[in-house]
Amino acid sequence: MKNQFVGILVIALTLAFSACGGGGTQSQQPNQTAPSPAPNETVASVPQAASLPPNQTDAGIVINGVRWATRNVDAPGTFAENPQDAGMLFQWNRRQGWSATYPGIEGGVPEGWDRTRATGTAWYAENDPCPTGWRVPTRQELSGLQQTYTMVENWNNTGVNGALFGTAPNQIFLPAVNHRPGHRGGTLVDTHEGRAGRYWSNEPHRGAYAPSLEFGWHSARDGSYAGVNVAAERRSAISVRCVQDVE
């Protein structure tokens, strides 16, 4: 009787062990399959970096190892829409832009015009009006640019005069934009309308001055000139053409 009882107990324990999965390891049944994704389930894509708007980016042209923007600076942090557009004018080492056309030659001084002399030992990054990744060029970079130039009237039938710098196909067009001299209180110069252009460097010169690239036609248009003038008044508002370091 005792042996019969032990045999029944062994059988009961064996059945209980099998029901629990054989020591905790549960095997997958032959017909068991992994759950399928829901019909409308999609895999999330990796978000792409938002591209900059057109007025904050420029392909640029490499001349003498420097990448030059193809357009002037317009409102701070942006480029003008087209290469022939004037953009805005800037006093040295200041970020505020001034209109190149309003008020006009007879219109007097722009509202809020800063008559004080801009100070500093360089054009500081926080005052740089160039879009992100670009900067105001050095005096040396401007000197390298002006080595090869051609004065142009009615560039590409746009009605805009200016100068081509560099050698084709690596050339940029700089429009002959009027400027606002500091000693005239910011009033535009009538004799420079469409005949001459000035573009800042990021370096200072003695006292109240800083170097700038200047180009244009001589009186009576019997010749032209281009060169770096170290005596541009810092409080004058002139054009900016940005550069980018070539990697």
User: For 182-238, what is each residue's pLDDT tens digit?
Assistant: 988 899 987 677 899 999 999 999 889 999 999 999 876 578 999 999 999 999 999
Distance (Å, whole) CA 77 – CA 134 = 9
* pLDDT beyond 60 at 2: no
Count structural domains, the chain. Answer: 1
Distance of CA 140 to the CA centre of its chain: 21
Q: Residue 109: inside a domain, yes or no?
A: yes
Distance (Å, whole) CA 135 – CA 123 = 9
Q: Which of 53, 77, 202 shows the shortest CA–CA distance to 132?
A: 77
If you average pLDDT over residues 60-79, what whole number do you get?
97
Q: What is the pLDDT of residue 165?
A: 98
Q: Residue 165: inside a domain, yes or no?
A: yes
Identify the three-state secondary structure at position 199: strand
Domain span holding position 205: 61-245
Q: What is the pLDDT of residue 87?
A: 98
Q: What is the pLDDT of residue 3?
A: 45
* Per-residue pLDDT tens over the stretch 85-144: 999 999 999 999 999 999 887 778 899 999 998 899 999 999 999 999 999 999 999 999
First to last CA, the chain: 96
Of the pLDDT bands very low, low, confident and very high (cuts 50, 70, 90), residue 75 is very high
pTM: 0.78
Contact between 216 and 195 (Cβ < 8 Å): yes
More confident residue, 43 or 207: 207
**In whole numbers, what is the pLDDT of the chain averaged over residues?**
83
Q: Residue 50: inside a domain, yes or no?
A: no
If you average pLDDT over residues 143-169, what whole number do you get?
96
Distance of CA 193 to the CA centre of its chain: 28
Query: For the chain, what percent of residues have pLDDT higher than 70?
Result: 78
Q: Residue 186: inside a domain, yes or no?
A: yes
Distance (Å, whole) CA 33 – CA 15 = 27
* pLDDT beyond 60 at 174: yes
Contact between 212 and 110 (Cβ < 8 Å): no
More confident residue, 49 or 113: 113
Q: What is the pLDDT of residue 96?
A: 97
Alpha helices (H) along the chain: 2-19, 21-24, 139-145
Distance (Å, whole) CA 247 – CA 87 = 27
Task: Put the strands of the sheet holding 196-200 in their side by side order.
Answer: 196-200, 209-217, 224-233
Q: Residue 73: inside a domain, yes or no?
A: yes
